[in-house]
Structure 1
Amino acid sequence: MIAAIRRIPPLALIVFISCSLLIGLVWSIEAARSTNRHALANAAAQRQAQALSRAYAEQLRRGIGELDQITLTLKYYWEHTRGSVSLEDQAEHGMYPKSDGLYVLIVDSKGDTVSGTLPARVAVSDREYFRVHQAGRASGLYISEPYIGRTTGKQVLAFSRALRKPDGSFDGVVMVAVEAPYLAAFYDRSSLGEQDFIAVHRADGEFLAAKVGGTLDGNNARLFPAPPRFDQASGLKALDASQFADGAARLVAWQRLSGYPLTATVGLAAADIQAGADDASDHARQTALGVTALLAVAGFCGIVASLRAAERARREARVKDTYRLATDSAREGFFMIRSIADEHGEIVDFVVQDCNERGAAFVGFGRDELLGMRFRELYRGAALSKVMGIFRLAMDTGFHEDEFMARRDRGGRPLWLQRKLVRSEDALAMTVRDISDAKAHAQALARLACEDALTTLHNRHWLMQTMPQSLEAARAGGRQLALLFFDLDDFKNVNNTLGHAAGDDLLRLTALRLRAALRPGDHAVRLGGDEFTVVLEQVDSVDDVARITERVIAALGEPFVLSDGSRHEVHASIGISMFPDDGNDADTLLKHADIAMYAVKAGGKGQYRFYQPALSASLVQRLALEQALRDAVDEDQFVLHYQPRVDAVTGELRSMEALVRWQHPLRGLVGPLEFIGVAESMGLIEALGCQVADKVCRQLRAWQADGLPLVPVSINVSARQFNHGDVPGMIARCMSRHGVPASLLEVELTESCMLATDRPVADELTALKALGIKLLVDDFGTGYSSLSQLQQLDLDVLKVDRAFTAQLRNGREGMAFFRAIVSMAHVLRMSVVAEGVENAEELAILQDLGCDEVQGYYVSRPLPAAAAARLLRAGSLFPALLQSA
């Protein structure tokens, strides 16, 4: 037997053994993969179940939170209005969804319905939730067990709160009822298998609702024979078939709701979990059978071929590889390096057996000089250790490839070489290629990718690439790092007035000054546009950061002289975030520095501010206000109130000032102090001004159609509207659209409009006068206007700020100052209106001082249009006021 085996050619044995081993390997791999598939399927199902339970719990929490909010709101209004709440009226106005699945009730202390959205009134004194609240066993929201509704005949759940009298005694219950499947309907997921389910339970295990296989079901008999109890807030458990009424094993995940005594449960059928893995394993086994058959045929053919080949010839026992490594004309350097070992077989050195002239030149020798030299003759110290380590590694692995800088040429240019080592028995074949040009090109591209083309500062790409290393170094060294974020205030004015070339010139000058203001080792980055950031790595305290920031602000605050000779003054508003206090990554630090910069701009530009967590909340409120204000302008949520101006002596109605109010859908009527400044900063003041002018003209037309005696109505126009909008054209279009004469319109402008030195504003004032519209100076005395400016502009009325009116009762100085204003205005043929008249004493003083008109709460508060119409009919607001004066 042994002799017969020996006569078999070695190649035939090798083929037979190899095929057998391959067949065994194929089936071993398949068995391992099958086990892995089932393990992966189970792990994926666990993650899916936990994710579904968390998602379902969050959706339940939000949905129940909305129901809870209804009970809280009704409880508040019922207790604070002493029962004057009508749910029927609210339902008619659409305050509750009209779906069949939700009902709202208010019952008194006896359990009788007081108000509700059900078609009939019911008594609930026997209901579980009523008895719980009546007995005082629930301090907040109580979720009932399912019960059958008397009106609907369906299984419902009650979400209820107790009502209290002022003395704290029980006064009834406010309740929101939903059909039981409503809780399962919160989560609409069509991918549930036929035996998968989602369910919700109370903390005591009471089943509330479920969805099995995508179908809503309020009957727990299809799921659990007994209510489940979960001791932990969340978890995952595989339950066998005995735990379920339908006899199907499942993987169950649960998540307790935050703030509510409910548990969301998700169950995935065990059969479905492994179905995909079973199918894949069946397919793989079929493939393995095919491969086995193929290997068997190949083995048989190989054995036959080896037997035939053995009969014809003998193979050579050893094949020598002949290497032709290089020629002297090649561009690459070629070497044959032989290893030298000691008596223990350890490599102690290498010797150059052969090379070409190009390779020898890389090392700095001639070919004849280099042949036969050992590495210990070529290298010394650390260089020798490094080279020996590389070549020993190549001998161990059979291959090595790297790039290294050999030296610098006479011009200081680095010589970069690419080295490739391949083992051949006890030697290494080495090729060396000069890659200096490619390396220089790659480094140039990398530099360009990280450099801003306009300013040559670092760019955003560089910042995001290097910040992780900088933060890690600061973290390892226990040091702080500061990030400064800023842009140039009013930079757009330069771009818009002088063009982008001038803007680019200003940005280049900014980069130069920024570099000069920073310390060596600080990094300046241009993020884009006029946005810059500075990375300060070596800082010991916030005082260091503050000093550097002040230096940057001072450097950028000096006027810039552009290439065209023009001088421009811009300032930087800088926000600062600190690592690690304000963030642990670049994105967070940038965001917080941006928020701090936003706070600087809101409070006055050209300053700096460190980030504080409260700024984030302030920014969110500001952004919410801005979005709401945009919606208000788009949806025209503004109304006008009218405050009369009357003759100071006769009380005759002379004019009315239109004052805008925001009819907020949630907050009600909002005064102008909360939104006018924001509207100006957002650029919405022009659109708002157009709406106000159109509303005034429409109202004047309506009063005229009602036959009322009309007086002029004044409109407030801001300096921004004069600077960015065609105010005369806008008012002319409104008058033409509604057929209102110019004599019925007046324009009130602030003193800042009078300070404008550019001709367009003066031209707009002239155009308004040309239309026949009177011009009024509002809040006179609070700005910096001068007598010469009043002389230059053809104005009609001077409205003196209420601050001066309030000083009239404080002595002669206040009266003398007001008398001077009246005298000056009369010389300029302007009438005087005193604002903020609050009492009879002030009115009497103003009459003695010769004031022409008065306006203030003593005369009348701002009134809606209907009340203002009554003033028009009356025509005069006193003698009643004159008699009291």
Structure 2
Amino acid sequence: MPGLLARVARTLPSGRHLPDEQWHRHHRFVLRTLAALTVVVAGHALVAGHGVLGAGGLTVPVAALGAAAALPFLTRGERANLAAVGLMTAAAVVVHVSGGRTEAHFLFFALLPLAALYATPVPFVLAVGFVALHHFVLGSLLHGSVFVHGQSVAQMALLHAVFILVESWACFVAWRHFEDRRELVERLVSDRTAQLREQRDELLRLAAVVQSTDDAVYTASLDGRVRTWNPGAERLYGHAAAEVIGRHVRCLVAPGQQGLVGPALVALQQQSNVRLERLHRRRDGSVFEALLTVSAIRDEDGTLTGHAAIVRDVTEQKRAQAEAVSNAHRLQEQAGELARLALHDSLTGLANRVLLRDRLEAVLAARRTGPGAVLLLDLDDFKAVNDVHGHGAGDAVLTAVASRLRSCVRPEDTVARLGGDEFVVLVDAARGRDEVGAVAERLIAASNASVPWGPETFEVGCSIGIALLDPADGRDPDEVLRDADIAMYAAKAAGRNRFAVFEPAMHEQVVAQTQLVRDLRTAAGSGQFSLLYQPQVDLRSGRITGAEALARWHHPLHGLVLPDTFIPVAESSGTIDLIDDWALGEACRQLAGWDAAGLPRLQVAVNISARRLARGDLADTVRSSARAAGVDPARLEVEITETATTSCADEAARTLQEVRALGVSIAIDDFGTGHSSFGRLRVLPVDRLKIDRSFVAALDGRAGAGSIAGAMVAMGRSLGLDVVAEGVETAEQLDALRALGCSSVQGWLFGRPVPADEIASLVRAAPPVPALPGRPS
């Protein structure tokens, strides 16, 4: 059964959706037919003798269905179905009125095709179903109203069944084939229409391109006469279309080249496209270089009918190409110069860092059996030349030194400038350590020679670090240069103007110093530092009046680290600022602690580095430290080295003035070891001079007045300054200092540096020295 239904469904036409206007036109025709059938049914019933009421009753079903099919609020499908049923109802009434005569049944088949006007199978199927029900159901129950009386009902039903089925099947098959054919035709028409539309659009686009392009586009006949002329051609040649169309294309060619037109037209007989460069002329007579792309125009059978040309003015393009060729030659020359500059120093002409690295990599990769060497040179005292005389003088020194360095080595060796006043000499395959040392000696001698610059003459030496190249050690260029740099700093530390050969221990020392710097950065904040205090004794009263704060570092791994070890590292790395600030704060807190313990009013001296002076914010740090501890800043004494007053003279003077304004005392420490002048001391806000222990050590009971210490005491007294002697260890030294009129002393004779709590015991004890006669004790 499902298979039969599927085959029946495939037989039905698929139908199609009619446009509204067409559907309504068909529907109006069906409604008019129903109206006419209503009149026919009424007339036929009257003629058959049914009377007016009978005729009216028979007409009502047809009229009602026709009226319902006209209702506008129903859907299209609902109205179509009602109309189809109405048509079949009209036929059934006519058959009934005719007494079931066979001829009346043909009205069914006459009206059935009208249901197909809706182009959907549902109304048609409803009409066929109506006929089947009418004949088989009503014919069986009221056969006198369907078939003629006196005949076999089964015979008549079978006969009409055959007619109905065959007619319906024929209609369906015809409709289905008609739909298939219609769909094919519509698809072909649609495809062809789309092709024609695409061709039309393509032609329109091509026409738009031709009309809008800046290039000249024209077509010509087979004999060379212009047929079409676009706006681009008008702009390029200056001719309007009316002036050119019909004329031969020779009118566009510059004089002297018109004879080339004929061969070009002949060439199009064998070729589809020809690309030419010709001189053409404009309407005003000016000539330009034209690039022509000429294409043959052929009809459908391939016969040549003309040609089309696209013309472009390439005068500027040709000029640009010529300039480009010229520029290319010039750039090639410049590229060679740039390549040289990229690998050489612009000032000295020596190899630069890039070229040096390339050659050093080549030497290391070659793995020669003979050792080579890298010598890194740093000029001594070069900064003074730049600072005093300017960069012009510095450039003159660098250029002269570079030339001399080149003359000291072999042609196969490389001399490079790394930057600033650093040079590198790569000695390839030296015969041994002695030969490398000889090269270094020559380089030092060459750098020591004076360099004239106008009226001035400069003398600079150099320090050299040497890294020997051992093919077996596996170092890369960076490591070799690093080792040479370490050795160079070792040479500077040894006194400058000399060379040093790198040893592994040097690198270990640098690593250790680097670790020391890292440790220093965290030491102050982690409580690793402490202060010891060495008492200072006033010789006039014999009592302890103050103490010098001395920093000690308790390293968590290395134990006690003395200032001689960590202070130079701290100054070179900048961590000395952290230590100075910590020491100031700790000294202020200790003063407050001594006050709370009931000690006499003491003064604490704190050493400050030259770097800290140069920063310019020392006064702010002193003020904030004293305020935080609740002590008077006048209880502090800032000690600076004699060297600090000259290394950054202006900054030091300005900073010391600000600190002195707070009431803080200023002392010059290690006096006599630097280069202070008498005039310099007069302008600085200094309160005390501290004689270095080396001069105190030279005193004994018999020598005093003629000693250096005596001269220093005299200088201090002449400037109105107190004088403190450091490193007093013997009674003879103390007697000599008393005789010289020294104000205060400190040293092991009175006490070593001790923790803060021991200072209290020393202060409360008897005076460490007897007071001078006439002074209170």
TM-score by length of 1: 0.44
Higher helix share goes to which structure? 2
Q: Which has the larger radius of gyration?
A: 2
TM-score by length of 2: 0.50
Higher strand share goes to which structure? 1
